[in-house]
Structure 1
Amino acid sequence: MMAETALTQSHQPAPKASAAILAGPIVPVMLRLALPTVAVLVIQTLVGVIETYFVSSLGANVLAGVSVVFPVLMLMQMMANGGIGSGLAAAIAQAYGAGRWQDMQALVWHGVVIAVVAGLACAIAIIIGGYTLYQMMGISGPALSAALAYSHIVFASSPLIWLVAMLSAALRGAGDTRTPAQITLVGAVILLPLSPVLIFGWGPIPSFGVAGAGMAIVVYYLVAALFLVIHMRSVKSVIKLSITPLCARSFRDILGVGLLASIGTVQLNLTVVIVTAAIGCFGADAVAGYGIASRLEYIQIPLLFGLGTAIMTMVGVNVGAGQMQRAQRITWFGAAIAFAVTTLIGFIVAAFPHIWLNIFSEEQQIVKIGTNYLQHIAPFYGFIAAGMALYFAAIGMKRVFWPVLAGTVRMIVAAFIGWIAVTYFTVSIEMLFNILVAGILIYCAITIAATFVIGRKSS
Structure 2
Amino acid sequence: MRRAVSEFNPPQNGNPTNSPAANPLLTGPILPILLRFSLPNMVAMLATALAAIAETSYVGQFGAPALAGMALVFPFVMLQNMMSAGAMGGGVSSAVSRALGAGDVGRANVLAVHALWIGITLGLFYMVLMELLGPTFMAILGGKGEALAQAVAYGEVAFVGSVFVWIVNTLSSVIRGSGNMKVPSVTLFAVALAQVLMGGALGLGWGPLPQWGMRGVAAGGVLANLCGALFLWSYLSSGRAKIQLQVRRTTLDRKHLIDILRVGAVACISPLQTVLTILILTRLVATLGTQALAGYGIGTRLEFLLVPIAFAVGVASVPLVGMAIGAGQIARARKAAWTAAAVATAVLESLGLIVTLAPDVWSSLYTQDPSVLASAASYLMWAGPFYGLFGLGLSLYFSSLGAGKAIGPVIAGTLRLLVVALGGALLSYWQSPAWMIFALVGAGMAVYGLSTVWIIKITPWGEATRPRE
Q: TM-score range by the shorter chain?
A: over 0.9
Q: Are 1:282 and 2:288 an aligned pair?
A: yes
1:112-127 counterparts in 2 under 5 A?
112-127=116-131
1:170-209 counterparts in 2 under 5 A?
170-201=174-205, 205-209=209-213
Question: Aligned partner of 1:105: which letter?
Answer: N
Distance across 2 between alignment mates of 1:442 and 1:181? 31
CA displacement at 1:263 relative to structure 2: 0.4
Partner of 1:27: 31
Deviations 1:61-99 (A, max 9, x none): 233223322221111111111111111111001001111
- The question of whether the paired residues in 1 share the 8 Å contact of 2:19 and 2:103 is answered with no
Which of 327, 331, 334 does residue 321 from structure 1 map onto?
327
- The question of whether the paired residues in 1 share the 8 Å contact of 2:198 and 2:221 is answered with no
Of the structure 1 ranges 69-78 and 18-27, higher mean CA displacement relative to structure 2 is found in 18-27
Deviations 1:332-378 (A, max 9, x none): 11111112111211222111112111222222222222212211221
Question: Aligned partner of 2:430: which letter?
Answer: F
Secondary structure in structure 2 of the residue aligned to 1:368: helix
Q: Are 1:218 and 2:222 an aligned pair?
A: yes
Question: Aligned partner of 2:375: which letter?
Answer: I
Which of 456, 463, 468 does residue 451 from structure 1 map onto?
456
Distance across 2 between alignment mates of 1:196 and 1:425? 46
Deviations 1:37-69 (A, max 9, x none): 111111112222222222222222233223322
Partner of 1:425: 430
Which of 152, 160, 165 does residue 164 from structure 2 map onto?
160
- The question of whether the paired residues in 2 share the 8 Å contact of 1:418 and 1:436 is answered with no
Superposed CA RMSD = 2.1
Q: 1:456 to 1:252 in 2, by over 3 A?
A: closer
CA displacement at 1:197 relative to structure 2: 2.4
Secondary structure in structure 1 of the residue aligned to 2:242: coil
Which of 344, 349, 352 does residue 350 from structure 2 map onto?
344
Distance across 1 between alignment mates of 2:54 and 2:303? 20
Q: 1:10 to 1:202 in 2, by over 3 A?
A: closer
Q: Are 1:296 and 2:284 an aligned pair?
A: no
- The question of whether the paired residues in 2 share the 8 Å contact of 1:279 and 1:286 is answered with yes
Deviations 1:202-228 (A, max 9, x none): 565433222211221111011101110
Q: 1:127 to 1:444 in 2, by over 3 A?
A: same
Partner of 2:73: 69
Distance across 1 between alignment mates of 2:450 and 2:137? 36
- The question of whether the paired residues in 1 share the 8 Å contact of 2:353 and 2:384 is answered with yes
Secondary structure in structure 1 of the residue aligned to 2:268: helix
Deviations 1:216-259 (A, max 9, x none): 11110111011101111112112111121111111111111111
- The question of whether the paired residues in 1 share the 8 Å contact of 2:204 and 2:211 is answered with yes
Which of 269, 274, 286 does residue 263 from structure 1 map onto?
269
Identity across the alignment (%): 33
1:364-383 counterparts in 2 under 5 A?
364-383=370-389
Of the structure 1 ranges 205-214 and 257-266, higher mean CA displacement relative to structure 2 is found in 205-214
Secondary structure in structure 2 of the residue aligned to 1:32: helix
Question: Aligned partner of 1:238: which letter?
Answer: K
Distance across 2 between alignment mates of 1:404 and 1:134? 26
Q: Are 1:247 and 2:257 an aligned pair?
A: no
Q: Are 1:272 and 2:272 an aligned pair?
A: no
Q: Are 1:107 and 2:108 an aligned pair?
A: no
Distance across 2 between alignment mates of 1:53 and 1:437? 29
TM-score normalised to structure 1 length: 0.93
- The question of whether the paired residues in 2 share the 8 Å contact of 1:34 and 1:307 is answered with yes
1:121-140 counterparts in 2 under 5 A?
121-140=125-144
Which of 62, 67, 85 does residue 89 from structure 2 map onto?
85
Question: Aligned partner of 1:423: which letter?
Answer: S
Gaps of at least 5 residues in structure 2 are 10-16, 465-469
CA displacement at 1:138 relative to structure 2: 2.4
Which of 86, 99, 102 does residue 98 from structure 1 map onto?
102
Partner of 1:3: none
Distance across 2 between alignment mates of 1:82 and 1:440? 19
TM-score normalised to structure 2 length: 0.91
CA displacement at 1:396 relative to structure 2: 0.7
Question: Aligned partner of 1:217: which letter?
Answer: G
How many pairs are equivalent?
453
Q: Are 1:50 and 2:33 an aligned pair?
A: no
Partner of 1:441: 446
Distance across 2 between alignment mates of 1:388 and 1:279? 24
Gaps of at least 5 residues in structure 1 are 1-5
Distance across 2 between alignment mates of 1:7 and 1:408? 37
Distance across 2 between alignment mates of 1:209 and 1:352? 38
Q: 1:187 to 1:341 in 2, by over 3 A?
A: closer
Distance across 1 between alignment mates of 2:255 and 2:38? 30
Which of 149, 152, 169 does residue 153 from structure 2 map onto?
149
